[in-house]
Structure 1
Amino acid sequence: MKTVGIKELKNKLSEYIRLAKAGEVIAITDRGQVVAELRAPKHVDHPLMDDPWFAEQVRLGHITPSKVPPGTPLELKRDYPLVPLEEILRDLDESREDRF
């Protein structure tokens, strides 16, 4: 991450914009304190990004767009075996027998 003062940034703005476009993050300082960052915008390929409000919320970090496009049917992935409810309740009753 490069650091640049406001005066130098103003004098060489084009150079720093090219660096940000290339992926560099530039910390902007005012009297030695970092006050802002200059970076290229994140590209989010999502159909809802055409909506200005949605795009702004993504930019602010309030919303994270789904990785699955809207309207795509989702299949639930289960990494565990399905156990019928009756079997679970029977096991629970057996484990509680000594409490009565």
Structure 2
Amino acid sequence: MRSVGIKVLNSRLSEYVRLAASGETILVTDRDRVVAEMGPPQPTRSPLVADAFLADLVRSGVLRPGLVAATEPPPSQPTAPLSEILTDLDSARADR
């Protein structure tokens, strides 16, 4: 575990992010007082930002997931056969 002041973190952020990504925990200090902790993502965290944001909303109770997981959309039912639609379209255009 390492600690780093805000000024040093600001100037060498990429280096500390790489350390955190490799599994190390970084304590961020301001005037020798720990103000934040930076570390690797938890194993349950999604690698995608949008998924992680939605998961946090679900965890905090702001959002509820759907009751039924849709695997694929329901099959669409045509309203009329194509030949009937084309006939109606031709008759509508005949008036022009």
The structure with the largest alpha-carbon Rg is 2
TM-score normalised according to structure 1 size = 0.48
TM-score normalised according to structure 2 size = 0.50
